[in-house]
């Protein structure tokens, strides 16, 4: 397996380019807007090397029998699913941000199971193709970006009825040895930190929409792929050279719009090609895996937000106030409830026909629906505890300025023994998570990642077994 530095060198070797703030950038592994997210991804490799965490971050491959990074693992038991969310929580603790690797793991497990069942129904050979592809991913310890979300255009129209049919990624040409695809995928977490991208349909396709029912993998530097880097709140602070003002200067997240401008996909890298009857299954299974993930990754970031809130309260000398204690207890309660949901849907997981395990779909959706709410309450409570200075704190440049600095250190002093510089660091860290660049991964992702609340409500309605519940009541009451 790769070390963190070997991973970074392997990304550098891809020579990826991206449009960032109106300019084409080619040296992405050195770009200040990109490098914090690259370091967060590298942490998933480093944790697989450390004695205290490698048991959680590694697993035995069901394909090769070798030890692989758990982020490249096909889950073989309910214990694997539980260890997945434990690993994600640990990674969130280590980085304090989105470490970007979950979506590829979730996509791989969904595609592995769906291709098996599609082959059984249609006599295709997608499953064996995917096995060979994923063996290579495991052997070379590569990062996969999962890509599902299309631009969608007019949400009231189907893909084939759009004014521009490219608003849902589709096959535009079928030729010898493969297909040519065109379209775009939005909100791509960690795309330019990944070696490969696994593309899936964004919704259940219907007969007549075969060109949109396509699943495939290509390298992130494949000809015709174009990356456009996404903005984040306060992101240009990373360009200013003031580490404190960034809030989390070591690590960060990354979002990209990726355009597929007539990209050729070879036959052996296609895992669904027009089978509309299996597109919905793929969407739902990927969603269940990714909704399970949020019971780990968002909890890990929640842990450090709670820690920062407790630390700033101590710095302010109010840690013994009853209302502060109550708020911190509520934050812990909400965060552990999310983890309980993630652990429960994992422990209740079952094997698909292909042999790999998936979470309980009802509980996975309950988990994610709670994630659309609780992190916002944690952020509100953290903002309350931190105080108004969270929004009015001067710059690190002013703190270090010979004229303004002494005034800042005099008037922003707090409890004895607390350095004003340390108070700055903690406040900026909280600000990063509740209103800055980190809030993209912690709050906006909590709402929209793996689908917004309505998507979970739809699945809960489908999986909730109202008919079965009514039958139970009829049995209790003797109703025929």
Instruction: List, by residue number, the catalytic residues.
Output: 98, 102, 189, 255, 290, 294, 297, 445
- Whether residue 449 contacts residue 146, with contact meaning beta carbons closer than 8 Å, is answered with no
- Whether residue 369 contacts residue 112, with contact meaning beta carbons closer than 8 Å, is answered with no
CA 399 to chain CA mean position, Å: 35
Residue with the two structure tokens 């812990």:
332
Task: Report how far residue 127's alpha carbon sits from residue 263's, in angstroms, rounded to the nearest whole number.
Answer: 22
The end-to-end CA distance of the chain, in Å, is: 62
C-alpha distances (whole Å) from 124 to each of 119, 121, 274, 286, 366 are: 5, 8, 11, 21, 34
- Whether residue 226 contacts residue 184, with contact meaning beta carbons closer than 8 Å, is answered with no
Tokens of 89: 């929580």
β-pairing, 144-147 with 196-199? parallel
The 3 state secondary structure assigned to 149-191 is CCCCCCCCCCHHHCCCHHHCCEEEEEECCEEEEEEEEEEEECH
β-pairing, 357-358 with 350-351? antiparallel
**DSSP for residue 266:** E
Beta strands in 87-237 (DSSP E): 144-147, 170-175, 178-189, 196-199, 214-219, 225-229
Residue with the two structure tokens 């991973």:
7
CA dihedral sign, ordered 287, 231, 162, 199: negative
């Amino acid at each position: 397996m790769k070390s963190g530095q070997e991973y970074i060198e392997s990304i550098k070797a891809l020579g990826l380019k991206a449009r960032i703030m109106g300019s084409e950038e080619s040296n992405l592994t050195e770009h200040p807007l990109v490098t914090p997210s690259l370091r967060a991804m590298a942490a998933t490799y480093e944790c697989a090397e450390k004695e205290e965490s490698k048991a959680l971050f590694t697993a035995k491959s069901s394909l090769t029998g070798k030890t692989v990074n758990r982020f490249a693992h096909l889950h073989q038991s309910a214990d694997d699913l539980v260890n997945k969310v434990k690993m994600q929580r640990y990674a969130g603790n280590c980085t304090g941000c989105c470490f970007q690797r979950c979506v590829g793991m979730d996509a791989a497990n969904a595609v592995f199971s769906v291709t098996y069942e599609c082959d059984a129904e249609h006599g295709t050979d997608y499953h064996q193709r995917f096995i060979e592809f994923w063996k290579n991913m495991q052997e070379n310890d590569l990062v996969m970006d999962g890509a599902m979300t299309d631009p969608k255009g007019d949400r009231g129209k189907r893909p084939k009825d759009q004014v521009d049919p490219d608003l849902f990624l589709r096959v535009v040409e079928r030729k010898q040895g493969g297909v040519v695809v065109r379209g775009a995928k939005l909100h791509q977490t960690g795309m330019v930190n990944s070696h490969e991208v696994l593309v899936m349909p964004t919704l259940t396709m219907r007969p007549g929409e075969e060109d949109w029912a396509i699943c495939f993998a290509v390298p992130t530097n494949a000809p015709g792929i174009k990356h456009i880097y996404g903005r984040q709140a306060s992101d240009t602070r990373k360009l200013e050279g003031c580490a404190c003002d960034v809030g989390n200067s070591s690590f960060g997240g990354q979002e990209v719009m990726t355009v597929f401008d007539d990209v050729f996909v070879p036959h052996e890298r296609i895992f669904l090609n027009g089978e509309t009857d299996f597109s919905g299954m793929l969407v739902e299974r990927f969603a269940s895996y990714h909704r399970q993930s949020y019971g780990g990754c968002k909890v890990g970031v929640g842990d450090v937000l709670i820690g920062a809130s407790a630390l700033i309260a101590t710095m302010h000398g109010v840690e013994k106030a009853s209302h502060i204690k109550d708020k911190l207890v509520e934050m812990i309660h909400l965060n552990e409830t999310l983890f309980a949901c993630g652990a429960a849907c994992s422990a209740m997981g079952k094997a698909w026909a292909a042999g790999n395990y998936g979470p309980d779909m009802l509980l996975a959706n309950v988990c994610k629906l709670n994630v659309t709410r609780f992190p916002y309450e944690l952020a509100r409570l953290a903002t309350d505890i931190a105080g108004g200075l969270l929004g009015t704190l001067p710059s690190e440049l002013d703190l270090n300025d010979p004229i303004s600095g002494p005034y800042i250190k005099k008037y922003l002093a707090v409890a004895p023994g607390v350095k004003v510089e340390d108070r700055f660091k903690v406040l900026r860290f909280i600000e990063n998570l509740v209103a800055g660049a980190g809030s993209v991964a912690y709050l906006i992702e909590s709402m929209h990642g793996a689908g917004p609340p309505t998507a979970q409500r739809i699945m809960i309605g489908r999986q909730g077994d109202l008919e079965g519940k009514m039958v139970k009541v009829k049995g209790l009451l003797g109703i025929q």
